[in-house]
Protein backbone atom coordinates (compact mmCIF):
# COMPACT_ATOMS: atom_id res chain seq x y z
CA UNK A 1 0.00 0.00 0.00
CA UNK A 2 2.66 2.53 1.01
CA UNK A 3 4.76 1.70 -2.03
CA UNK A 4 1.81 2.45 -4.31
CA UNK A 5 1.10 5.73 -2.60
CA UNK A 6 4.77 6.78 -2.76
CA UNK A 7 4.92 5.74 -6.42
CA UNK A 8 1.82 7.85 -7.04
CA UNK A 9 3.40 10.84 -5.33
CA UNK A 10 6.54 10.31 -7.42
CA UNK A 11 4.45 10.28 -10.61
CA UNK A 12 2.79 13.54 -9.58
CA UNK A 13 6.20 15.11 -8.87
CA UNK A 14 7.40 13.92 -12.26
CA UNK A 15 4.33 15.49 -13.89
CA UNK A 16 5.06 18.83 -12.20
CA UNK A 17 8.71 18.68 -13.24
CA UNK A 18 7.69 18.06 -16.85
CA UNK A 19 5.10 20.83 -16.65
CA UNK A 20 7.80 23.32 -15.67
CA UNK A 21 10.17 21.81 -18.26
CA UNK A 22 12.82 20.67 -15.79
CA UNK A 23 15.19 18.36 -17.68
CA UNK A 24 16.63 16.44 -14.72
CA UNK A 25 15.02 13.07 -15.48
CA UNK A 26 15.09 13.18 -19.29
CA UNK A 27 17.52 11.04 -21.21
CA UNK A 28 20.47 12.86 -22.70
CA UNK A 29 19.65 11.37 -26.08
CA UNK A 30 16.20 12.99 -25.99
CA UNK A 31 17.69 16.34 -25.05
CA UNK A 32 20.30 16.21 -27.80
CA UNK A 33 18.04 14.90 -30.60
CA UNK A 34 15.01 17.14 -30.11
CA UNK A 35 15.00 20.87 -30.74
CA UNK A 36 14.00 23.24 -27.96
CA UNK A 37 10.38 23.54 -29.18
CA UNK A 38 10.05 19.78 -29.74
CA UNK A 39 11.50 19.09 -26.32
CA UNK A 40 8.97 21.43 -24.71
CA UNK A 41 6.15 19.66 -26.58
CA UNK A 42 7.63 16.29 -25.62
CA UNK A 43 7.61 17.23 -21.94
CA UNK A 44 4.08 18.69 -22.11
CA UNK A 45 2.97 15.33 -23.51
CA UNK A 46 4.11 13.67 -20.28
CA UNK A 47 2.11 15.84 -17.88
CA UNK A 48 -1.35 14.28 -18.29
CA UNK A 49 -0.24 10.62 -18.33
CA UNK A 50 1.98 11.05 -15.28
CA UNK A 51 -0.80 12.88 -13.45
CA UNK A 52 -3.30 10.14 -14.27
CA UNK A 53 -0.87 7.42 -13.22
CA UNK A 54 -0.11 9.23 -9.96
CA UNK A 55 -3.76 9.60 -9.09
CA UNK A 56 -4.45 6.00 -10.10
CA UNK A 57 -1.61 4.62 -7.96
CA UNK A 58 -2.70 6.62 -4.93
CA UNK A 59 -6.39 5.71 -5.27
CA UNK A 60 -5.66 2.03 -5.89
CA UNK A 61 -3.31 1.98 -2.89
CA UNK A 62 -6.09 3.34 -0.71
CA UNK A 63 -8.61 0.87 -2.18
CA UNK A 64 -6.17 -1.96 -1.50
CA UNK A 65 -5.71 -0.90 2.11
CA UNK A 66 -9.48 -0.73 2.65
CA UNK A 67 -9.87 -4.18 1.01
CA UNK A 68 -12.91 -3.07 -0.99
CA UNK A 69 -12.38 -5.32 -4.03
CA UNK A 70 -11.50 -8.97 -4.38
CA UNK A 71 -8.02 -9.66 -5.71
CA UNK A 72 -8.96 -10.71 -9.28
CA UNK A 73 -11.29 -7.73 -9.70
CA UNK A 74 -8.65 -5.39 -8.25
CA UNK A 75 -6.00 -6.64 -10.68
CA UNK A 76 -8.30 -6.39 -13.71
CA UNK A 77 -9.44 -2.87 -12.82
CA UNK A 78 -5.84 -1.83 -12.17
CA UNK A 79 -4.60 -3.15 -15.52
CA UNK A 80 -7.47 -1.64 -17.49
CA UNK A 81 -7.16 1.78 -15.87
CA UNK A 82 -3.36 1.84 -16.09
CA UNK A 83 -3.33 0.89 -19.77
CA UNK A 84 -4.77 4.27 -20.79
CA UNK A 85 -1.97 6.49 -19.37
CA UNK A 86 0.69 4.01 -20.56
CA UNK A 87 -0.78 4.16 -24.06
CA UNK A 88 -0.58 7.95 -23.86
CA UNK A 89 3.09 7.74 -22.84
CA UNK A 90 3.88 5.39 -25.72
CA UNK A 91 2.02 7.63 -28.15
CA UNK A 92 4.00 10.66 -26.96
CA UNK A 93 7.28 8.80 -27.52
CA UNK A 94 6.16 7.65 -30.97
CA UNK A 95 5.05 11.15 -31.93
CA UNK A 96 8.32 12.84 -31.03
CA UNK A 97 10.95 10.17 -31.64
CA UNK A 98 9.40 7.83 -34.17
CA UNK A 99 9.77 4.91 -31.74
CA UNK A 100 7.56 3.59 -28.98
CA UNK A 101 10.58 3.11 -26.73
CA UNK A 102 13.41 5.65 -26.66
Per-residue H/E/C for the chain: CHHHHHHHHHHHHHHHHHHCCCCCCCCHHHHHHCCHHHHHHHHHHHHHHHHHHHHHHHHHHHHHHHCCCCHHHHHHHHHHHHHHHHHHHHHHHHHHHCCCCC
- pLDDT digits 0-9 by tens, 23-39: 998 888 888 888 999 99
- pLDDT digits 0-9 by tens, 40-89: 999 999 999 999 999 999 999 999 999 999 999 999 999 999 999 999 99
Task: Name the band, by pLDDT with cuts 50, 70 and 90, for residue 102.
Answer: low
**pTM recorded for the entire structure:** 0.90
For residue 101, pLDDT over 90 is answered with no
Domain ranges of the chain: 2-97
Amino acid sequence: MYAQILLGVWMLINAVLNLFQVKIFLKKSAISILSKEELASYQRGFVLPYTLLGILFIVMGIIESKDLLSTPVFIVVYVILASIPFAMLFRNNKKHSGYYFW
